[in-house]
Amino acid sequence: MRLSFHGADREVTGSCHLLHCAGRRILVDCGLFQGGRELEEENARPFGFDPAEIDILLLTHAHLDHCGRIPLLVKRGFRGEIICTAATRELARLVMLDAAHLQEEEARYRSGKSGRHGHHRHHKSEHHAPESPLYCILDAVNCAEYFGRTAEYGKRLELAPGVAATFFDAGHILGSASILLELSENGHRRRILFSGDIGNAGRPLLRDPVVPHGADAVIMETTYGDRQHRPVDASVTEFYAAVSDALEQGGNVIIPTFALERAQEILYFLHEGVRQKRLPAHLQVFLDSPMAISATEIFEHHPECYEAKTAALFRGGRDPFALPGLHFVREAADSIALSQIRSGALIMAGSGMCTGGRVRHHLKNNLSRSNCGVIFVGYASEGTLARIIIDGADAVRLLGEEVLVKAHVYTINGFSAHADQRELLAWHARTGKPEVTFLVHGEAKAMQAFARSLRHTRVEMPALHQSYDL
């Protein structure tokens, strides 16, 4: 049996691993590359295998860097079966449609710029023209028919003679999984564990990660392989203080948020804050993101994924997201109308790093007002508008205008959907003593630091398209 890595190396991440065993080809994840290099080009390149030859795609979770190239896979000939949990299936559909929509928009923008507007639609080419999208909405819709069996946590699925898979709750986002493959080929047996992304323990909405024991080979993520998180309780307290302080100034409060997971977590904390009287009872919250609203609705369909206490409350009739003063803003016209509100509104909108989306309009309307607040609740990479504001810029360029930064800026660092170094080590220890551990999905620095702290295993850091015999 042979394992090859087509999604991650030391510079870029985008999960995509291929296992060749007992005459079957099984792909684990098919993510879009994110980070480092010229990514558009990287994403359009050949996969490193023939999509038509893949029998089964096992999907760990619905983040773009794990499912974002599925429409491209189907477009290029994949006709196999996609298997994931019920929640992942719904979320992945949403994430792929959103990605396709963004790519269509970007392609339109690029073709307008290059003066070829209107031509690219009829331009047939074997090559990926820079002004055509990687895939379109129709391609994303087409993926639906390849989603087959639903995986349930802890239930073994026989995929083919000599190939079985079991999904375990990874505690990372709704429906996320680590996947154990039990393989047998000519009397040679192997247990191979793919971590997916590993969540951090002790979060209120999701369960702690479940780790199967006795893997021979482990493929694991190392996003925070060199860092420790602060406890989430301290961050929640800090978040409530920021919300109260910002509202007391008399203006509005903007919270740039990622649509999937972070938005739901923040809604949950706001709801709890009001319920426990740690936040004002009359809080008016506007969730201004069609994507986040849909993701929240999907959360409400899947209480089977919740942490036990939250699940029990939900069954007892308490919806974790049903904050009394919550307004869903789907329509663009309603989003624009929010600019009429000068005071007391808490507006959650994307994107989380302020690189696009509706949040930019709200920042434009509120950033220069000294009685307003902006609360950052997630990671912001170098060069993004969020990072520029966090780093203390006096003025920023926004939608073609120079906007002064006079609003109060708060940064809450402790919210994370990833395990930190200590938790990653504990996770690895629980897998047993695997002969070999492949590190993926982390920056080089984090990966190397993590590799040094691992014991009782051979460590590999595969390059893109590298293969190993197992």
Chain residues binding Zn ion by CB under 5 A are 63, 197
CB neighbours of residue 324 within 10 Å = 12
In angstroms, give the least distance from the CB of 243 to Zn ion.
Answer: 26
In angstroms, give the least distance from the CB of 19 to Zn ion.
Answer: 20
Our CB check for Zn ion shows the closer of 3 and 260 to be: 260
In angstroms, give the least distance from the CB of 64 to Zn ion.
Answer: 9
In angstroms, give the least distance from the CB of 329 to Zn ion.
Answer: 26
Find the length of the chain.
Answer: 470
In angstroms, give the least distance from the CB of 91 to Zn ion.
Answer: 11
Angle at 348 between CA 344 and CA 351, to 5 degrees: 145
Our CB check for Zn ion shows the closer of 63 and 207 to be: 63
The residue among 219, 326, 310 whose CA lies nearest residue 270 is: 326
Q: Rounded to an integer, what distance in angstroms lies between the CA atom of residue 20 and that of residue 162?
A: 12
Helix, strand or coil, per DSSP, at residue 469:
strand
CB neighbours of residue 260 within 10 Å = 27
Given a contact cutoff of 8 angstroms between Cβ atoms, the answer to whether 85 and 177 are in contact is yes
In angstroms, give the least distance from the CB of 349 to Zn ion.
Answer: 21
Our CB check for Zn ion shows the closer of 6 and 63 to be: 63
Q: Rounded to an integer, what distance in angstroms lies between the CA atom of residue 447 and that of residue 434?
A: 18
Our CB check for Zn ion shows the closer of 9 and 197 to be: 197
In angstroms, give the least distance from the CB of 192 to Zn ion.
Answer: 20
Question: What is the secondary structure of 48-106 as a DSSP string?
Answer: SS-GGG--EEE----SHHHHTTHHHHHHTT--SEEEE-HHHHHHHHHHHHHHHHHHHHH
- Give the relative orientation of helices 262-275 and 232-248 as an angle to the nearest 10 degrees: 70
Our CB check for Zn ion shows the closer of 153 and 468 to be: 153
Our CB check for Zn ion shows the closer of 173 and 375 to be: 173
In angstroms, give the least distance from the CB of 154 to Zn ion.
Answer: 21
DSSP code for 118: T
Our CB check for Zn ion shows the closer of 94 and 246 to be: 94
Question: What is the secondary structure of 276-309 as a DSSP string?
Answer: TTSS-TT-EEEE--HHHHHHHHHHHH-GGGB-HH
Our CB check for Zn ion shows the closer of 131 and 197 to be: 197
Residue 139: its H or E element: helix 137-142
